[in-house]
Amino acid sequence: MSKRTEKTIVDIAEELQLSVSTVSRALNDHPNISARTKERVKKVAKKIGYRPNALAAGLRNNKSKTIGLIVPRISMFFPATISTIIQNKLQEFGYNLIICQSNDSYDQEVALANTLYSARVDGLVVSTTLYTTDFSHFDIFRNNNIPLVFFDRVPKDYNVKVIKGDDYRGGYVATTHLVEKGCKDIVHISGPLTCCLYSDRVAGYKAALQEHGLTSKKNRIFYQELTRENAWQTCEKIFGHQPYPDGIFASNDTTAITIVEYCRKMNLRVPEDVKIVGYSNDPRTEIVTPPISSIDQYPAMMGERVVAVLMELINGRQSAEPRYSQEIIPIQLIERQSSAGKSKTGKKKLTLS
Amino acid sequence: MSKRTEKTIVDIAEELQLSVSTVSRALNDHPNISARTKERVKKVAKKIGYRPNALAAGLRNNKSKTIGLIVPRISMFFPATISTIIQNKLQEFGYNLIICQSNDSYDQEVALANTLYSARVDGLVVSTTLYTTDFSHFDIFRNNNIPLVFFDRVPKDYNVKVIKGDDYRGGYVATTHLVEKGCKDIVHISGPLTCCLYSDRVAGYKAALQEHGLTSKKNRIFYQELTRENAWQTCEKIFGHQPYPDGIFASNDTTAITIVEYCRKMNLRVPEDVKIVGYSNDPRTEIVTPPISSIDQYPAMMGERVVAVLMELINGRQSAEPRYSQEIIPIQLIERQSSAGKSKTGKKKLTLS
DNA sequence: TAAATTAATGCAAACGTTTGCAATAATCCA
DNA sequence: TGGATTATTGCAAACGTTTGCATTAATTTA
């Protein structure tokens, strides 16, 4: 163990024949310290290469200037984008972000919540696992009044700050769009119902069908983890026998993209034979052929709201704030070729070779 | 400020009429403590909801069980994938990861290095900015023997542990591939030369050309930040006048994808009129039409190596280790339709409507 | 059974800050 | 000029752990 000769404020104090308290205050620009002293202190600090020890300060102040973030995966478009925003926004406020991935495992999520608590984060931001239905591992945060904000995949029946997309509306808008483009038999591929965001979208889907005089049939909704592999298998089920649907609303874009690929392989024409709408407006929907219609969730806005709420909670009069509130971020349908009607781009020929 | 009644080991000690030291040792499974005592301590700890304070422990031990990571952006495929691996691997070793993005800004990188030092991370992993040529902001880490590992975008002439892709070979293989498929006039779109990984690829490109009796012309290489917008503009330059190239080697996949889109719009056939190879094997290359050949960089392997080296450094006999070493992760060309020869899939018809 | 050995526990300092309060120095006002 | 005010600085405790060393308790051995 090589001796790590960390310079401390004590060293500065000695060099200048001052007390540590004045040095501390000088470095923090405390008003009681004379300009001259501040200058001298800072100069010496720089000279000897002093670096504040955030651990010590954190221990003393009972705050770490650090925020924890738990997401299922940072490699998926939506959480990745939000994490980026959160991290950059937080940086502006002088906060560090500890990003952790639960890998959609409940046990990992619990473990992470505990470590982050031990790290004494000043706040926690969470988008839960697909299967988290018990939220008691977040109780420590709630009970100790540590700011706690959930986004996107948020708890049901757990009193906390929540920022979510308008999933009901998303399901409704996507489905209505398909109906208006002429679809009569619309399949919905959903995520597991344990996750409220999917159940909301299903509800929207059903409402839209009903409103337009179509019936929603049980065997036209599929519940699954929305992976590439599952999407492919479900396609095989769907198109394994007649009648084929003329519209598919997929609850994420990975699924929508896979469906398009499947259709291409099977010589099913998109959008002529079957129209497709995805969810999240992943940039990939734009580069695939044909480009896929999708529901944009305004991730930037969501990320900014998360940070805003968090900062309010941290700086604010906590007593005044209700510990529970729900904020809904709007969605928007982005129409692309995969759900176009005949009259428009449907006829366009796109040929290779 | 609501009184946050944190339970400490002192509380446990009092409840059991023990000293704090025994409690501490009991919780850490120190061999000197009797099994009975350990049991009692842990039971009470659980009962009163004790949570260790990592800040205090960190201060005392001079270690935070935390690793810092600085990358340009976590929303780009390659760094995102590696970050995921690193974070998951590190979790296994009981380390937290503070992920920070420099947004490709040198100033932010400097600032982040400083904050992470202040946070007393036990190690730092970095993939630098495109424009970082001065690395002195990492000196604090080097001088204090804090494990420091660079990957992918690594420093030139700065003695540290480095894990990089085989960029020279990547450039060489990509170019050779195009030549072998019959290309005679190959454009290369590169990132800025300040980043050694791009200069290596350029070198590989030139070597391949030369070896096959082709000359590399200055006006056939473009240096730019590899964004969508720049790619489009460069396409306009390239195809603004004859002669058109018959092959393009792009140093990232965003650029390659944009070229494909440009070609489609301009009715240039890929791969018949122009063949394209990208870099990184971003999953997007697979879903675009036609799918794009690319150089796979084995991000998972790179991530694992990063953590392995880091752990060696942390646990290891530092004195024995050379503080400098370079490890090269292999690359592999993934052939897809965008660079296929005539004989193969080139004739395949892909029609919509 | 007493001495010697081993096992278990306790004391107190240390880690590097911050901060309430006390103390001193500088300035002001009449 | 001296008392009052204000501007600076210092003292010492506190934050919650860990750990070397000393101490006490339990066990073994002769």
pLDDT at A101: 92
Q: Mean per-residue pLDDT for A3-25?
A: 89
CATH architecture for segment(s) A64-165+298-329: 3-Layer(aba) Sandwich (3.40)
pLDDT at B146: 93
Query: What percent of chain A stands above pLDDT 90?
Result: 88
Q: Does domain B9-52 sit in CATH 1.20.1290.10?
A: no
pLDDT at A317: 58
Distance of CA A4 to the CA centre of its chain: 40
Distance from CA of B350 to the nearest CA of A (A): 6
Contact (CB<8Å) A103/B88: yes
Distance from CA of A207 to the nearest CA of B (A): 32
pLDDT reading at A349 higher than 80 = no
pLDDT tens-digit map of A22-52:
999 999 999 999 999 999 999 999 999 999 9
CATH of domain B65-166+299-330: 3.40.50.2300
Distance, Å, A275 CA → D13 C1': 71
Residues 33-72 of chain B sitting with CB below 7 angstroms of strand C: 33-37, 56, 59-60, 62
Q: Mean per-residue pLDDT for B308-328?
A: 81
Nearest Cα residue to B228 out of B198, B252, B200:
B252
pLDDT reading at B343 higher than 60 = no
Contact (CB<8Å) A99/B115: no
Q: CA B135, CA B155: separation in Å to the nearest integer?
A: 7
May I ask the CATH class of domain B167-297+334-340?
Answer: alpha beta
Task: Quote the tokens at residue A241.
Answer: 């026998």
Distance from CA of A111 to the nearest CA of B (A): 10
Nearest Cα residue to B33 out of B19, B14, B45:
B19
Task: Please indicate if any CB of chain B lies within 8 Å of the CB of A3.
Answer: no
Mode of pairing for the β-strands spanning B293-296 and B123-126:
unpaired
Greatest C-alpha distance within chain B: 89
The lowest-confidence range among A96-110, A138-152, B304-318 is B304-318
pLDDT tens-digit map of A287-338:
999 999 999 999 999 999 999 999 999 987 555 467 788 999 999 999 999 9
Nucleotides of strand D within 7 Å of the protein's CB atoms: 7-12, 14-20
Q: Is the CB of A192 under 7 A from strand C?
A: no
pLDDT at B341: 83
Q: Give A 292-351 residues with CB within 8 A of chain B.
A: 318-319, 346-351
Contact (CB<8Å) A75/B52: no
pLDDT at B324: 83
Nearest Cα residue to A216 out of A240, A183, A242:
A183
H or E element that contains A352: strand A350-352
CATH architecture for segment(s) A167-297+334-347: 3-Layer(aba) Sandwich (3.40)
Residue in A closest to B290 by C-alpha: A352
pLDDT reading at B157 higher than 90 = no
Question: Quick one: pLDDT band at residue B317, thresholds 50, 70, 90?
Answer: low
pLDDT tens-digit map of A71-128:
999 989 999 999 999 999 999 999 999 989 999 999 999 999 999 999 999 999 999 9
Find the residue closest to C18 using CA and C1' atoms: A60
The whole-chain average pLDDT of chain B stands at 92
pLDDT reading at A56 higher than 90 = yes
Task: Please indicate if any CB of chain B lies within 8 Å of the CB of A59.
Answer: yes
pLDDT tens-digit map of A239-281:
999 999 999 999 999 999 999 999 999 999 999 999 999 999 9
Question: Quick one: pLDDT band at residue A348, thresholds 50, 70, 90?
Answer: very low
Question: Quick one: pLDDT band at residue A166, thresholds 50, 70, 90?
Answer: very high
Contacts A87 to B, Cβ<8 Å: 74, 99-101
pLDDT tens-digit map of B203-235:
999 999 999 999 989 999 999 999 999 999 999
All structural domains of chain B with their residue ranges: 9-52, 65-166+299-330, 167-297+334-340
pLDDT reading at B327 higher than 70 = yes
The packing angle between helices A9-16 and A35-48, to 10°, is: 120
Query: What percent of chain B stands above pLDDT 70?
Result: 94
Q: Do domains B65-166+299-330 and B167-297+334-340 have the same CATH topology?
A: yes
Cβ-Cβ contacts under 8 Å between A and B: the total is 166
Indicate the residue of B52, B62, B117 with minimum beta-carbon distance to A118.
Answer: B52
pLDDT at B350: 39
Contact (CB<8Å) B352/A353: no
Distance from CA of B45 to the nearest CA of A (A): 14
Nearest Cα residue to B186 out of B221, B227, B151:
B221
